[in-house]
A and B are shown apart, each in its own frame.
Chain A
Amino acid sequence: MQAASFWQSMVFLVLSAITLGLAVFTITRTNPVAAVMSLVGTFVGLAGIYASLSAHFLAIMQVAVYAGAIMVLFIFVVMILNRDEVAPVSWRGILSRGLGVVTTAWAFSFVTLLVVRAVSPAVGDGKIEGSGALAKLLGVPADVDVAFGTVKSIGKGLFTDFVFPFEAISVLLLVAIVGGLVVSRSAKQEHHAEAVADRDKAVRAQIRPSSIVGAGAEEADAAHSHAAAEHH
């Protein structure tokens, strides 16, 4: 039992180190392809952690959907666009953004502590164990049920007990999509795009008069047929 606990700890520590290391790699690489490959490794590490928690279906979905489908799409897009390498850190407005990181980290730890205190009064002594009340809330029972982690139990849990967190994560993903759009389109690019659009509009307005184009085409056709008749 002791040996099993030791190996479980070792597996968790190794997978955590891989996941965290590759996550840091993802945000520090200048080459987009290297960043995407690091992200794939992060997802695989997370899948390993899910598997160690007996959530095998979730682990398979993590690899098949995220590492297998979404990240392959990302790699193709990055390679096709051939985007220039960017600096790992943009120093513009570093103070305000650094403050944002610290504030977010503090808010996350604060909310986590609130949840933990609300569920388990023993957390003040750092005594949360896998078999405690919090573990039951988080779905990590001490004795894993046979049905735990199956498609049926996950589906039932998602649409009954955990429907609110499920929908909240959907909103989080929507926010991430909007954030991705805002981040990927800078003000400079937007001004450039608007300038190009205005120029195209002006050029089109100069060429457009269809009556002139139509009349010109008719005249050209008439001249061509006249020349052909004379030739014959």
Chain B
Amino acid sequence: MPTTYYLMLSFALFVVGTAGVLLRRNALICLLYTSPSPRD
């Protein structure tokens, strides 16, 4: 698999986590934001 695919997935997960933390303001979402993902 091209590495760009993994980067795109990690980017999408990062954006979802950021949106969750900033828009929803729920402490639970902070765990998703920092969860081990391909971006790590």
Contact = CB atoms under 8 A, between A and B. Distances in A.
A70 B31 contact: yes
A207 interface: no
Interface stretch (A103-111, A148-156, A194-202, A217-225): A103-111
A89 B26 CA distance: 10
Interface string B16-40: 1111111111111111111111101
Q: How large is the interface on A (under 10, 10 to 19, 20 to 34, 35 or more residues)?
A: 35 or more
A105 B1 CA distance: 24
Given A20-B13, A108-B11, A39 B28 contact: yes
A180 B32 CA distance: 11
Interface string A125-150: 01011101011001010000000000
B35 A179 contact: no
A128 B3 contact: yes
Contacts of A211: none
A35 B17 CA distance: 13
21 contacts: A19-B9, A20-B13, A24-B16, A26-B32, A27-B16, A27-B24, A39-B32, A42-B32, A89-B24, A97-B23, A98-B22, A98-B23, A101-B23, A112-B7, A129-B2, A140-B3, A169-B40, A172-B34, A180-B30, A183-B25, A183-B30
A134 to B, nearest CB: 5
A66 B36 contact: yes
Interface in A71-93: 74, 78, 86, 88-90
Interface of A: 8-9, 12, 16, 19-20, 23-24, 26-27, 32, 35-36, 39, 42-43, 46, 49, 58, 62, 66, 70, 74, 78, 86, 88-90, 94, 97-98, 100-101, 104-105, 108-109, 112, 116, 126, 128-130, 132, 134-135, 138, 140, 165, 169, 172-173, 176-177, 179-181, 183-184
A9 to B, nearest CB: 6
Interface residues of B, number: 37
Majority secondary structure of chain A interface residues (helix, strand, loop or mixed): helix
B13 A19 contact: yes
A179 B20 contact: no
Nearest to A135: B3
Given A98-B23, A128-B3, A128-B4, A32 B18 contact: no
A176 B20 contact: no
Contact of A27 (B1, B3, B32, B38): B32
